[in-house]
Structure 1
Amino acid sequence: MKLWVSLALFGTLFTSVLAKPHHLPSFPDQCGRHPAQSCSAAANQTANSCCVEKKAGLFLLSQFWDVHAGYEDSWTIHGLWNDFCNGSYPSNCDPSRSYTNITEVLVSRRAFKLLQDMNNDWPNSAGHVDDFWSHEWNKHGTCMSTFEPGCYEKKDPFQGMIDYFNTTMKLHKKYNIYKALKRHGIVPGHKYSTSKVQKVIKKEFGMLPDLRCTTEGHLVETWMYFHVNGPVKRMDIVPTLNNNATNCNSTLIYPTKYPNDTANPKIW
């Protein structure tokens, strides 16, 4: 009888231990379960700027449909930006953390997977990826308070930058525009109603996108707006509406990539 009770008690304790990680998620940023939402009244009352973006808390994930860069079945990244809650935005907020050697830093920190992902999904059609990545970090990433060195235990000057790129890559994969549109029959090489493209993206991701077109009516970029709960790297996203903002006409062209590409595919 005692043995049976002991085994039953051990089973209960063992089950409880296994269950804890599911019910008690770990937050390494030490900001607790329910940090303030950016652009809220609570954000202004939060003293710790490592746990909330207090001023520039409206975020914008910008993705390119660049016909001269990236895979033919994937959008690419332009950047992750933060705006003040009144529509204006900060830029180049910390010259002391303006870097030009992004690849070198990532290699030195052995962030090889991140570097490979960035080369694949955050390209520059001109080929100068470090210039492109540096511009995005220096102009936008340095303005995000939750990526500042003081938010890290070792006050590492590079960890915030690495987290900025890593977070942007994860958001890009989470909001896969190409696959979302394709699921609804919207593929490159055709014309579509602008409102239809917007509605599909909203249905898939809960965000009404700001579609950007060239003067010729070609779809070239998508902006998706949101707030965040707590540090940006948590990716605790709160979608926002943009009142159907777009510079596209009522009908847009979703062009195919690499038109009239004259590169010789011959293997030497």
Structure 2
Amino acid sequence: MSCQITATVAVDTCGFKQPGGQLLLTQFWDTDPPTGPTDPWTIHGLWSNNCDDAWEQICDNSRKYKNITEILEPLAALTLKSMDVCRKDNRGNDERLWEYKFNKHGICVSTLDPECYDAYKPAREVADYFTKAVDVFKTLPLYKWLAAADIVPSTTATYARAAIQDALRAAYNQTVAINCSKSKELSKQRYH
């Protein structure tokens, strides 16, 4: 896995993610309250990773957007349809979540800077950011991977962290960072 390029000359940040060179996708399993469908996890976010478990955020206030739905309808209708299912806010305000995530993380993805587009049109990077998040999410069928190892959501069964990590490593070919809630429920996964 490539993570960081140390360059002594100017680097074209349109050609690769800088700093870090990597994106991180995080998935949630929300149980309190339950959100999203009953089997797949939901997308928590996609953001730049600096290779040290740190990331950039709120990098350019001039590029903050509102009304993500209105932006996506003409530019990425299929992405919006997927987000209505897999990108849910646990308080029921998906639009607020989408605005927050783009304005916190999307504006920090160097490859989506307006100058990286040949014929930039305002808000194009919003559609590209969410389309990338949905596309990556679709390649990571977490529920299916865990179910193949007989690990399924339950209010009575418990699973060892090692068993969960082994199942995910076998399917993903890399270690997946897992997090549990305060009540010891599996709640979040991070993929580099």
Q: TM-score, normalised by structure 1?
A: 0.66
Q: Matched residues in 2 for 1:124 and 1:224: separation?
A: 20
In the other structure, the counterpart of 2:95 is: 130
Which runs of 5 or more structure 1 residues have no equivalent in the other structure? 1-36, 226-268
Q: Matched residues in 1 for 2:9 and 2:143: separation?
A: 40
Retained in 2: the 8 A contact 1:213–1:221? Answer: yes
Q: Matched residues in 2 for 1:38 and 1:155: separation?
A: 28
Farther off after superposition, 62-71 or 152-161: 152-161
In the other structure, the counterpart of 1:89 is: 55
Higher relative contact order (CA 8 A, sep 6+): 2
Pairing 1:59–2:23 present: yes
Amino acid at match of 2:77: F
Equivalences for 1:232-251 in 2 at 5 Å?
Answer: none
Could you tell me how far 1:158 is from its partner in structure 2? 1.3
In the other structure, the counterpart of 2:83 is: 118
Q: Matched residues in 1 for 2:10 and 2:82: separation?
A: 35
Pairing 1:99–2:88 present: no
- Rate the CA distance shift 1:38–1:148 in 2: closer, same or farther, 3 A: farther
Partner SS state of residue 100, structure 2? helix
Equivalences for 1:191-230 in 2 at 5 Å?
Answer: 191-225=158-192
Equivalences for 1:139-178 in 2 at 5 Å?
Answer: 139-178=104-143
Could you tell me how far 1:224 is from its partner in structure 2? 1.5
Describe the superposition over 1:219-263 as per-residue Cα deviations: whole angstroms up to 9, x where unpaired: 1111122xxxxxxxxxxxxxxxxxxxxxxxxxxxxxxxxxxxxxx
Q: TM-score, normalised by structure 2?
A: 0.91
In the other structure, the counterpart of 1:48 is: 12
Return the index of the structure with the highest Cα Rg.
1
Q: Matched residues in 1 for 2:52 and 2:178: separation?
A: 21
Q: Matched residues in 1 for 2:18 and 2:80: separation?
A: 30
Partner SS state of residue 204, structure 1? helix
Amino acid at match of 1:172: F
Equivalences for 1:2-13 in 2 at 5 Å?
Answer: none
Retained in 1: the 8 A contact 2:71–2:126? Answer: no
Could you tell me how far 1:155 is from its partner in structure 2? 1.8
Q: Matched residues in 1 for 2:3 and 2:9: separation?
A: 11
Retained in 2: the 8 A contact 1:212–1:221? Answer: yes
- Rate the CA distance shift 1:179–1:45 in 2: closer, same or farther, 3 A: farther
Which runs of 5 or more structure 2 residues have no equivalent in the other structure? none
Q: Matched residues in 1 for 2:90 and 2:143: separation?
A: 19
Retained in 2: the 8 A contact 1:118–1:169? Answer: yes
Partner SS state of residue 60, structure 1? strand
Cα RMSD between the aligned structures? 1.6
Amino acid at match of 1:203: A
Amino acid at match of 1:114: T
